[in-house]
Structure 1
């Protein structure tokens, strides 16, 4: 317990020495940010030992204090979501070798921790196999409650993909919230978020809002404005937006579980029940194997 309090205190007492690095992140991958501007950390205590990192389809601001991302940024389009649905998931979690070694999470930190390795930029958003492999960098991962990660949070991720397909494009910022003076840390190293958010902006309609959910198994969530999110998370997700947009909550879709096919999509006539059953059994076996490996590692 003492170690948890010390780590949380380090986060609270951190200085703003990482501010220069935040600006550097905007220069390296501006296409992933609305108007080329990365989120602004309005709580300067969060910005110590930060490192901006770019990947093919997302960018993160990594914290050497929490050893997690503070946010992940994506630009989802109808085409990128369609491409991502054609990429089979291959779990390959790995250490991120950029940045100081003592400020990074390690694969062994999560072993028998009781927490899932939860993506901030989802593997299911990645439009190529290479981009998906990059999404398994621990720089993109936070400790997530297993029930929450595999249930409500998975549904929120899919709801946002569906919304991007319907609207044509969305800018998305996802990240953790660390609240209180006794934040848990797995292996005394990696801070466990108390809440997780996913902020979205529709540039065609000029609408924005955010999902905000506790990192626990009860399935609770709420839709909040970007202004409220800023007050909770200490982060201005889309700093170039006018205040009136930040103060209004867009109508976010209710999180639901979706299959890879479109809702109500008819099965092709040549796909008989035996073929369907074989496919479903194969998927169930793959899921059971993946969950068994996750529980071990």
Structure 2
């Protein structure tokens, strides 16, 4: 099959991402503490959920929210060091593994006033392939712009620095949707009222979570896994002993210096224009056509 030179790199990248996603399905348990995925304790959240594995993270996607409920990662000193060498390339895309009527679309975010906020951060991804996968909308929630680029970026960087000091951390990042105060962009994608980042250090057997409102003027607080479960309806680390879940570990204070350093390496997502949307839609159509060709061949 002959390809125009301009299309060849894109086709190669698509093959790489597809193969990587297949390999990720075999290694997903390694991303969970004790090989156990987070469990939902609020039955209202369980409808239309779909677990998805990627190379460096796993998500539980909600077809009701059209967004992820959580993303799980295993951060190590080596993976953080590798991630710092990967140049960021923004390439948000729909997630074809999620049923069409249950997933977010790129146009949902156009002129929404919200950032496309990663749960598993692009800055955590140790390879270019893993980073490309992190831009799936199955890993994205609507975030207040000032919060995403400010306090939340500081929390993400502080977590990476903690992983560098400690050696290995298990991290579960997720959304909280609080009843009547929940809104939706484009009438489709629910906006989290709060976000959390739960951390478990298996060597020291201690855990805790950052919890912060999804707004510009919010302040974070440290909570225990038990307190997080009461708020989020999620047991982030089911295999962790009860006494560890009852006490919040001391979490690093997020600092503005973390945000400044991160912004210099990885500019945060901008609001999508119609030209961006058109380009993404063309790329999406090409991906689908290419997959159909692969199915016909194999």
TM-score, length-scaled by structure 2: 0.80
Q: Is contact 2:172-2:236 (8 Å) kept?
A: yes
**Which residue number in structure 1 is paired with residue 132 of structure 2?**
133
Q: Give 1:181 deviation, angstroms.
A: 1.9
Q: Which runs of 4+ in 1 moved over 3 A?
A: 25-28, 257-262
SS in structure 1 opposite 2:169? strand
The corresponding residue for 1:79 is: 78
Contact 1:26 1:38 in 2 (8 A): no
2:236, 2:96 → 1: CA distance? 27
Shift of 1:242: 1.1
1:71-220 to 2 correspondences below 5 Å: 71-220=70-219
Distance in 1 between residues matched to 2:257 and 2:201, nearest whole Å: 22
Separation of aligned partners in 2, 1:66 and 1:180: 12
Q: Does the Cα contact within 8 Å between 1:116 and 1:143 map onto a contact in 2?
A: yes
Contact map agreement 1:85 1:260 (CA 8 A) in 2:
no
Contact between 2:54 and 2:130, CA under 8 Å: does it hold in 1? yes
Instruction: Output the CA distance in 2 between the equivalents of 1:100 and 1:171.
Output: 29
The RMSD of aligned alpha carbons is: 2.3
Give the whole-Å Cα distance in 1 for the aligned partners of 2:257 and 2:86.
16
Distance 2:70 2:82 in 1: 24
1:123-143 deviations in Å (ceiling 9; x for gaps): 000000010000000000000
Determine the structure 2 residue equivalent to 1:294. 271
Q: Which runs of 5+ in 2 are unaligned?
A: 1-23, 277-298
Distance between the aligned counterparts of 1:248 and 1:193, measured in 2?
Answer: 25
Contact 2:184 2:190 in 1 (8 A): yes
- Counterpart Cα distance in 2 of 1:166 and 1:207: 15
| SS of corresponding position for 2:253 | coil
CA contact (8 A) 2:25 2:53 kept: no
C-alpha deviation, 1:99, in angstroms:
2.2
After superposition, where does 1:225-236 map in structure 2 within 5 Å? 225-236=224-235
Shift, 1:260, TM fit: 9.8
Matched residue of 1:229: which SS? helix
The aligned residue for residue 28 of structure 2 is 29
Report the Cα offset of residue 183 of structure 1: 1.2
Report the equivalent of 2:62: 63
Q: Return closer, same or farther for 1:260/1:254 CA change in 2, 3 Å cut-off.
A: closer
